[in-house]
Structure 1
Amino acid sequence: MNDHAAGPQTQGALAHQALFPIREVSRLTGVNAVTLRAWERRHGLIQPTRTDSGHRLYSQADIDTIRRIRGWLERGVAVSKVASILARGQASVQDVAVAEPSSRSQALLREAVQRFDTAALAQLFDQLSAAMALERAFTEVLMPVWHDLAAGQGAYGQASEWLFLDQFLRGRVFSHQQSHQQSPRKAQPRRLVLAPLPGPCQELELQVAGLMLGSEDVGVTLLMPGQPLDELALVCERLRPDALVLFANHALTAGMGKRLVRMAPSLQCPLLLAGEAAPLAQDSLAGTPVVCLGAEGAVMRQRLRQYLAGQLDT
């Protein structure tokens, strides 16, 4: 079916309703029209509305979803897996909608970022921190906007907006971690080393994973992107953690999965996997020494606690 631009009257209606034809959506997202149709027909990832003549019309929410899809695909996630990832994220938003206006907070966050307004950004961050747990604020408000900007950097200005938000959030997480480390703790908390797997990984993603896994009972030492995988045995020998957690939001290659299995016995501590790589690799790593914690913050933390307590069936 052709998706030609609508006529003058229809264009006026589109502008009023903030709906966009497929050609404009392709320009905004960098995804060609053939792919957009395939994501709709074959995979059900997007559901645009239609004009009376059958032309597709996309809302801003559709465009945001397309950018998320593109972001996951660029990380190596198979298109067949993206639907379940999006569904988990939508369920999280729906669950919290009754208690917290997360969509409104996201809108305010976008406005502050578009103005490069540090003061407004700081005020919103403080309000979110006061209204909910910081982990929840990142899961439901901050990281969704961060991901959308990261996936949409083809549009003019979005690279600068993403860098602005990324720098601000990294600074806030670092400050939180510093104050948390200086607060009174149990005499001997459990200790984790959290390191990124080779491949696409932003520092903020790793910091937020550390935020999700850490607690009063569990201290987390972060190793930044660029950490050599071959030197993790040395790091663990010197730090003697209770576990090494490897983090990745991209699918593992078959070779990397085998490498982790071979590496596990040399670490002198358990090897755990977190991030989107974990549910994607769970079946292939079943029965190996590598334990998958999951991708969502609450799930990762719960499974970590169960594992450290010897209650997780691996």
Structure 2
Amino acid sequence: MAHSLDTPSTPEGPSADQLLPIREVSRITGVNPITLRAWERRYGLIAPTRTEGGHRLYSEDDVDTIRRITGWIERGVAVSKVGRILAATRTQDARARGPRSVIDTGGQRAWQDRLRQAASSFDEPLLDQLLHGVFAVYPVPVAYENVLMPVWRDFAARKESYGQISEWLFFDGFLRLRTLRLLQRDGGAGGRHVLLASIPGMCRELELSVAALLMTTPHTRITVLSPEQPLEELSLVCSRIRPDALVLFSNHKPHGYQPRRLLKLGLGLSCPMVMAGEMADMVQDDIKGTPIGCLGSDGAVMRERLQRFLEGRLDT
């Protein structure tokens, strides 16, 4: 355990028994120690605490950052570019939350643990109670982005052992139904009409529904297209529905991605197009100065930027 090593050289932050040595972090995250050291020394992506003897100790926030780095790399982002994306998403989050107090990550993890246990027990009534509790404590964007979706992603990732596929399907179905209900309750009846589509094969139904929920306002109605909607037929759909804008959402960079194809798609539509999700953070340099807008990946930021885009006030 971490407390068997030297005392950390800095008195601030988590206590020694809350920190993890590099071998334990490697076991938890699947990233070998050599890579962890390179991410720290070469790219400055993580900054573990050092003991007086020079041993690295990692906090839970460091572990979360390592998982995010791994996620970006798995999505096709070069490690040399991950730092800029992490900084941009942190800035988006800070701006969106404004003067609100720092989020209690320990409290969020406690909710996550309770949700995992209830889902693993297939206890739908308990899941409903926990969901009401989460929404009572956190705003909807924070509840989804910091509590619900991390649990959903954990279930999606661990489907190797007996029963884990069933747990994943149960929790996914539970969240999809509740998210749809929230969309029907909160969706604007008039005002602006926005279509939300994804890169086929790059997004699940729940991810699209959550994105729609986070971007919906009383004056903005969002129609969610199927995750399998062909990109080449979006121009047909837009010409018939006549939306005020199309939001193209994905948390993954498409295979064989080329900026000119994205620009060609946007120029071929009868309405303006914006990018959203983590893909938007990946391609924002490519679309800068084009008619295509970038909403980012933070829920509150996406909502605010979408409204600015619809009003013609978002720089592209």
**Alpha-carbon separation, structure 2, partners of 1:141 and 1:83:** 24
**Residues of 1 paired with 2:29 and 2:239: CA distance?**
46
Letter in structure 1 aligned against 2:133: Q
Quick check: 1:30–1:154 contact (8 Å CA) kept in 2? no
State which of 229, 239, 242 in structure 2 corresponds to 1:240: 242
8 A contact 1:264–1:270 mirrored in 2:
yes
Partner deviation per Cα, 1:77-99 (whole Å, 9 max, x = no partner): 33234334444449649968737
SS at match of 2:227: coil
1:171 matched to 2:177? The reply is yes
**Structure 1 residue aligned with 2:282:** 280
The answer to whether the aligner puts 1:127 opposite 2:157 as a matched pair is: no
1:212 paired residue among 191, 211, 214: 214
CA contact under 8 A between 2:278 and 2:297: conserved in structure 1? Answer: yes
How big is the shift at 1:254?
A: 7.9
Q: Distance in 2 between matches of 1:94 and 1:179?
A: 24
1:132-166 alpha-carbon deviations (Å, 9 max, x no partner): 4322322343334445x269649979966665544
Structure 2 counterparts to residues 88-127 of structure 1, below 5 A: 88-89=89-90, 92=94, 98=101, 101-115=104-118, 116=120, 117-127=123-133
Alpha-carbon contact 1:194-1:223 (below 8 Å) kept = yes
Cα 1:24–1:101 change in 2 (3 A) is: closer
CA distance in 2, matches of 1:78, 1:42: 13
Read off the aligned partner of 2:226 and give its amino acid letter.
Answer: M
Q: For the residues of structure 1 that align with 2:84 and 2:128, how far apart are their CA atoms?
A: 33
Once the two structures are TM-superposed, the CA of residue 248 in structure 1 deviates from its matched residue by 1.9
Q: Which amino acid aligns with 1:275?
A: G
Distance 2:21 2:67 in 1: 16
- How big is the shift at 1:241? 1.4
Give the paired residue count.
302
Structure 2 Cα separation of the partners of residues 96 and 159 of structure 1: 40
CA-to-aligned-CA distance 1:217-253 (integer Å, 9 cap, x gap)? 1111112322211111122122221111101223467
Bigger drift between 260-269 and 124-133 goes to: 124-133
The residue aligned with 2:12 is none
* Structure 1 Cα separation of the partners of residues 216 and 238 of structure 2: 18
Between 75-84 and 224-233, report the one with greater CA deviation: 75-84
**Cα 1:114–1:179, aligned 2, differ >3 Å: closer, same or farther?**
same
Residues 293/67 of structure 1: CA separation in 2 closer, same or farther (3 Å cut) = closer
Between the aligned residues of both structures, percent identity stands at 48
Indicate conservation of the 8 Å contact 2:201/2:228, yes or no.
no
Q: Give 3-state SS (helix, strand or coil) of 2:212's partner.
A: helix
**Out of 290, 293, 300, which is 1:291 matched to?**
293
Q: TM-score, normalised by structure 2?
A: 0.79
Aligned-CA RMSD value: 3.6
CA contact (8 A) 1:67 1:152 kept: no
List per-residue Cα deviations over 1:186-245 (Å, max 9, x = no partner).
Answer: 4xx321111112453233222221112222211111123222111111221222211111
Distance in 2 (CA, whole Å) between partners of 1:155 and 1:42 is: 34
The offset of 1:31, in angstroms, is 1.3
Per the alignment, residue 202 of structure 1 pairs with 204
**Structure 1 residue runs without a partner (length 5+):** none
* Match 2:4 to one of 3, 10, 20: 10
Deviation of the 1:306 alpha carbon:
1.9
Question: How many angstroms does 1:168 deviate by?
Answer: 2.9
Report if aligned partners of 2:156, 2:168 keep a CA contact under 8 Å in 1. no
| Aligned twin of 1:307 | 309
Shift of 1:266: 2.5
Give the equivalent residue in structure 1 for 2:22: 22
Label 1:261 to 1:86 Cα distance change in 2 as closer, same or farther (>3 A): closer
Gaps of 5+ in 2: 8-15
Q: Residue 74 of structure 1 corresponds to which residue in structure 2?
A: 74
**Which SS does the other structure have where 1:294 is aligned?**
coil
Change (3 A) 1:164 1:36: farther
